[in-house]
Amino acid sequence: MKSRINLLKRERKYQQYELYFHYLRIGTFVYCGIFVVTVMGLLFYLYNVNNQYAALLRQKQESAQYLLQNKDTEAEFVYFGGKLLEISKLLKEDVNFQPYYNLLITSLDQASQEAHFNSVTIDKSKSVQFTVSVENYTSLLGFLKYVETDKFLRYFKDITLINFDLADNNKKYTLTFKGKFNEINETTY
């Protein structure tokens, strides 16, 4: 069988391949350019990341060095702080009587010279019950007027008159109050 060559068809295919290879050449140049730029970018990024890591290592070393120089101070302070916070927590279980007692006496003194403090009970939740006696009716009115003012009430979360007695031939009035103190400001502990 005799082979025949169709030159027209071959020429078209050849031109098509030539075009592909032309694209390949351009693509290779472009790819080469992008490759070089990308590799340089990646190396630069890696260099920066490594620098960042090196800076962190230096910072860690400096901090560790400082800590090593002050390890006794740190150990002492950790013990000190632990104990202090524990004591502070335990003192919340304490009635802490005196500041509240002083507060009560001072405020009662402001009420009236003739109002006499008799007794007080305070517990660790700052619940309070106290008894006051007043010598005459005018003082009683003055005292009651005072205990209803904000000046007195601001010390308490709540306060109620739970008992009122008349003694000594209606000359002495005894009043019993029950309530709960507001927490005293921590700076005035």
Q: Please state, as a whole number, how many other Cβ atoms lie within 10 Å of the Cβ of residue 99.
A: 13
Question: Is the CB of 123 or the CB of 148 nearer to other proteins?
Answer: 123
In the β-sheet with 156-167, what is the strand arrangement from edge to edge?
A: 127-134, 172-181, 156-167
| The CA-based dihedral angle spanning residues 116, 119, 125, 127, taken in that order and rounded to the nearest 10 degrees | -60
Site string for other proteins, 33-72 (x = CB under 8 A): --x---x--x--xx--xx-xx--xx-xx--xx-xx--x--
Indicate whether 78 belongs to the interface with other proteins (CB under 8 A): yes
Q: What is the total count of residues that contact other proteins (CB under 8 A)?
A: 64
* HEC-encoded secondary structure of 57-110: HHHHHHHHHHHHHCHHHHHHHHHHHHHHHHHHHHHCCCCCHHHHHHHHHHHHHH
Question: Is the CB of 73 or the CB of 149 nearer to other proteins?
Answer: 73
Instruction: Name the site residues for other proteins (rule: CB under 8 A).
Output: 14, 17-18, 21, 24-25, 27-28, 31-32, 35, 39, 42, 45-46, 49-50, 52-53, 56-57, 59-60, 63-64, 66-67, 70, 73-74, 76-88, 90-91, 93-98, 101, 116-124, 186-187, 189
